[in-house]
Amino acid sequence: MLNLANTLQRSAFCAPTKAALICGDTTITYQEFDHISGKIAAALIEDGLTPGDRVALSCPNLPFFPLIYYGIQKAGGVVVPLNVLLKHQEIEYHLKDAHAKFFFCFEGTAELPMAKEAITAFERVEGCQKLIVMAVDDQLINYKGYETLSHFMSDHPPISECVVRQGHDNAVILYTSGTTGYPKGAELTHSNMMSNAFIAQHLLSASNDDRHLVTLPLFHSFGQTLHMNSAILTGSTLVLVPRFEPTTVLSLIEQEQITIFAGVPTMYIGLLGADDEYDISSLRIAISGGSSLHKEVIEQFESRFKVPILEGYGLSETSPIASFNYADSRVPGSVGKPVLGVEIRIVDEQGTPLNRGEKGEIIIRGHNVMKGYVDRPEETEAVLKSGWFYTGDIGQQDESGNLYIVDRSKDMIIRGGMNVYPREVEEVFAQHPDIAMVAVLGVPDSLYGEEIKAVVVPKKGAEVDGRALVQWGKEQCASYKYPRTVEVVSSLPLSATGKILKRELRALFTH
């Protein structure tokens, strides 16, 4: 028997009164966590959920998310986490594509009316049988005609045992960002998720004394595995932050004596921009993922906060952790070595392994690799070959096996027949003393096919001139690499996970 939710039951038995979830003024113990998720599981089973049924979940970093996530797991269902920023037509697509039978959605706020979008989508999807709304007021039994979570589970005693699942059974379906078309649902099994949670526990040297600050969205694989599942596996405490704000994060690290923090590069840039000083000496480890972190940011952060940043690499399709920088052997600039039980190779366009130091596509094999994409056999076959997952990322390994991410293959710029990796140019511009953030992209050009453009956000109080930055870049980069134009903007478009949305930048600057 294997069920991801067994880890919760184990922690609840070992540490029933320990704080499992903290969010604002709300604290939920492991015993309460186990009890509430068990009631949700019972209600789902009573309403007709059978093992393997898909259940969509749309919720920011609030206690609702882990409570429902583990309730679905206990009932034998498959969790389909949805990005909280999706509009109704996008939600409709995900519900249909995943064949979701139930849909849990947070009420939302005036700025983010999640339930409004969810209701519109739900009413257009025949196969989805029930919408349950997480209302802020737990006394409500009805929200605009739909049952609330508190009423849904109110009359059900918690189930005592998790529904039996096998290692190869789906536990979660995570949707990719859809950079190559419509989002695809990566099928991750109980074995995938459990193995990656154990890997995260090992990498963090985690114990039940740890306290995680969770500002990474739990609907994303990074926060879900590195924080939520690994924390519950070890019986540690999750301090949930619904929305990243630098001073809030720093004050909570001090106030809650946080020991583990993980973020994406834009979050570390934001923390460096905070003016006030905080005592974050309780923090023993900081993790960066999602995309490579510029060396300049690492050096500035570690100099100011005296906390090491360890980088890792992974994708939704790899549960997500594939490689990691170990604390005692880290190599700044790299994303470390393959984690236990995982192999990584660099290959050419024909799939032939390349020598150390050569650039090529990163492929991954191991316990972390997904089963496939939901209902997409051709697209699954295109990326899963003889057990290897072809990532579409360009990388290289040094003689010691450390992995370096060069770029996404689809982001590569071909200028006059020369390959230019935006990541390399971004590394250079990140060293400029007046630049806070930078994105480099290719724009159409009649002479060279593509030309190089940089879009930069200045540091607070700094004044920069685009033409001067072009000249500066010319002095720093090879002649075929430097941006011929530099656009100065106040902000860059970001995803809910803090990644720079280059496809939106291209839409702005390539027409």
Give the pLDDT confidence of 134-152 residue by residue, as tens digits: 999 988 999 999 999 999 9
| pLDDT greater than 80 at residue 412 | no
User: Residue 120 carries which DSSP code?
Assistant: H
Give the pLDDT confidence of 257-296 residue by residue, as tens digits: 999 999 988 899 899 989 888 999 999 999 998 777 888 8
pLDDT above 90: percentage of residues in the chain: 75
Six token digits for residue 186: 């990566």
pLDDT value of position 501: 85
Q: How many Å apart are CA 386 and CA 349, to the nearest integer?
A: 16
Residue type, 41: A
- Of the listed ranges 227-231, 330-334, 350-354, the one predicted with least confidence: 330-334
Give the pLDDT confidence of 417-466 residue by residue, as tens digits: 677 878 878 888 988 999 999 999 988 887 777 899 999 999 989 999 99
Q: How many Å apart are CA 494 and CA 384, to the nearest integer?
A: 29
Six token digits for residue 273: 């921009």
Instruction: Quote the pTM value.
Output: 0.86
Q: How many Å apart are CA 316 and CA 176, to the nearest integer?
A: 7
User: Residue 15 carries which DSSP code?
Assistant: -
The residues, any chain, with a CB within 8 Å of residue 339's CB and separated by 6 or more, are: 199, 203, 321, 322, 323, 324, 368
* Mean pLDDT estimate for the chain: 92
Residue 244: pLDDT band by 50, 70, 90 thresholds? Answer: very high
Sign, Cα dihedral of 407, 409, 415, 416:
positive
Q: Give the relative orientation of helices 466-476 and 422-429 as an angle to the nearest 10 degrees.
A: 110
pLDDT value of position 179: 47
Give the pLDDT confidence of 367-407 residue by residue, as tens digits: 999 999 999 999 999 999 999 999 989 999 999 999 998 87
Mean pLDDT in residue range 157-184: 87
Long-range Cβ pairs for the range 460-467 (8 Å, 24+): 460/273, 460/436, 462/433, 462/434, 462/435, 463/434, 464/434, 464/435, 464/488
